[in-house]
Structure 1
C-alpha cells in the first residue's frame, strides 16, 4: 500500500503504523541502496564507498546516543545514561571490526581507485570530529581541515560551544560530592553508580582508541606512507593521534592509585 506524505514523521521517516508500510518503505531502502550506486567504476570502488558510508551511519548513531547520555547525566538519570553509553561502546567496537572489510582492498587496487577519489578523504568527516568534541576531547582544535560547507562549519562550532559528555560526568560527580577520582577507584568505592559511569566512559574511550590504532594500521597496509587524499600527511597524521584520550583524568587516576 502506498504511503502518503501525511503519514510521514519529521524528516520523512515512515512510522510503523503508516498505511501498512513495508520493510523497505520503513527503512527507505530504495534511497539507501541508491546512495551506494554512484561509485567509481573500479574493482574495489563499491567496497570502499560502502564501508565509509556505513561508518557515517554508525557515527550518526553514536552522536545520538552520546547526546542522550550527556543529557541524562546532567539530569541525574544515571541508569538511562549507562544504557546509552554501553550501546555506544558496542558500536565503537563494530567500527573497529568493520576495518577488516576495508583491508581486503589490495594496494594495487587502491592505487587504481585513488584518482577517482579526488580530494575526498575520511580526514574530512565532520561527524567523526563531532563525536570527539561531544565526548570531551581536551584538544579540540587539532588538524587544519575546515569544512567548505557553512552548515558543517556551524555544526562543529556548536559542538565546541556546547557541554560535552565529560562536562556532564564532572557535574554529576561534583553534585555527589566526589572531587577526587582516585578515591572513586579505591576499594569500597564511595559511589558505585558513579564508578559504573566512569567505567562506561572508559569503554567508549578505549573503543575509540582502538579504532584510531586499527585505522592507522589499515591505511598503512593499503597506501604505505603516502600522504592522504584530503591533504593530511596520511599515516603520519593518524599515528600522531593514536595516544589521544577523551578522558585523560580517568586514565591518570589509575596511575595515582
Structure 2
C-alpha cells in the first residue's frame, strides 16, 4: 500500500515566533549586567564603556578566527573581508578611548576604590587577540588562574596557529620565497599583497590603541600603579612598540 503525502505538508514548517528588537538582541539580559558601581556618579558610565570594549574584543576574536580559517583554505577574498572588518573595529576602539577622558582625575580617584583589584590588564579577550594575531611572548597566569576556564581558552589559542604563522604558510604554498619582491611589485590586483596590507593595518591600529590607552591612563592617574598590580603607565609604555607581524615591518626596511 502506497501512502501519498500531501505536498502541502512539506511546506507546513512551523516558523519561529517573530522577535522584536529587544528580544532579538537580548537587551534585558545585556543591560541587566551593567550594574552601577555603588555611590559614584561615573560608575555606570565606567562599567558600560568597558563592557562595550569587551563586546568589541569578542567580535575581533571571532573575525580573526574566521580570517585564519579562510587563509588556511586559500579563500583570500573571504580573509580580506574579515580582516577589513577587524581593522574597522580596531579603529573604532581607538576613538572609543576618548570617552574615558570625560572622567576627571578627581572623579576617577573617587571611583578607583570601588574597582578593587579589577583591571583591564586582566582582560582574557584582549590577550586572546594578541595570541591569535601573533604576539605570544607573555604568559597569562596573572590573567587567568591555572586550571580556570579562561586559562584553558588561552592555552588552546597558544596551541593553535597564529595569523602570523598562517600567513607565512600561505606565502610558502604560493611559492613566495622572497616577500620583499611581493612588496616591490606593488600590484593592486595581488590578493597576497592585499592580505599583507590588511594584516599590517590591524597591527598598526592596535599599536595606536596601545599608545592612546597609555595616554588616557596617564591623564587619569598619572604614574600611580595600576589597580591590577601592574606598573600602570610605565607598563603600558613598555608595550607600545610591540608588533603582531614584525616581519611585515622589517620587509619595508629591506625594500
Provide Cα deviations, 1:197-251, integer angstroms capped at 9, x if missing partner. 0000011001100000000000000000000000100000000000000000000
What is the match of residue 54 of structure 1?
52
CA distance in 2 between partners of 1:107 and 1:252 (Å): 40
Question: Matched residues in 2 for 1:157 and 1:235: separation?
Answer: 28
Tell me the distance in 1 between the aligned counterparts of 2:77 and 2:137.
Answer: 29
Q: Which moved more, 1:66-75 or 1:167-176?
A: 167-176
Separation of aligned partners in 2, 1:199 and 1:70:
15
In structure 2, which of residues 48, 62, 65 is the aligned counterpart of residue 67 of structure 1? 65
* Aligned partners of 1:227 and 1:233 also within 8 Å: yes
- Pick from 215, 218, 221: which aligns with 1:220? 218
Separation of aligned partners in 1, 2:211 and 2:79: 27
Q: Answer with 1 or 2: which has the greater Rg.
A: 2
Q: Map 1:197-216; keep pairs closer than 5 Å.
A: 197-216=195-214
- Equivalent residue, structure 2, for 1:248: 246
The separation in 1 between residues aligned to 2:200 and 2:50, in whole angstroms, is 25
TM-score by length of 2: 0.90
The equivalent residue for 1:168 is 166
Q: 1:144 to 1:227 in 2, by over 3 A?
A: farther
Aligned: 1:147 with 2:148 = no
The alignment's C-alpha RMSD in Å is 1.6
Q: Indicate yes or no: 2:101 matched with 1:103.
A: yes
Deviation at 1:145, TM superposition (A): 1.8
- CA separation of 1:42/1:190 partners in 2, compared to 1, >3 Å: closer, same or farther? closer
Residue of structure 2 in register with 1:45 after alignment: 43
Residue deviations 1:71-122, cap 9 Å, x none? 0000000000000000000000010010011110100001000110000000
CA contact (8 A) 1:119 1:230 kept: yes
1:114 pairs with one of 112, 121, 134: 112
SS in 2 for 1:213: helix
Count of residues in Structure 1 that have an aligned counterpart in Structure 2: 240
Shift of 1:171: 1.1
Corresponding residue of 1:6 = none
Aligned 8 A contact 2:37 2:43 in 1: yes
Equivalent residue for 2:194, pick from 193, 196, 216: 196
Of 187-196 and 227-236, the range deviating more from structure 2: 187-196
TM-score (norm 1): 0.90
Alpha-carbon distance in structure 2 between the residues aligned to 1:143 and 1:163: 18
Shift of the alpha carbon at 1:142? 5.3
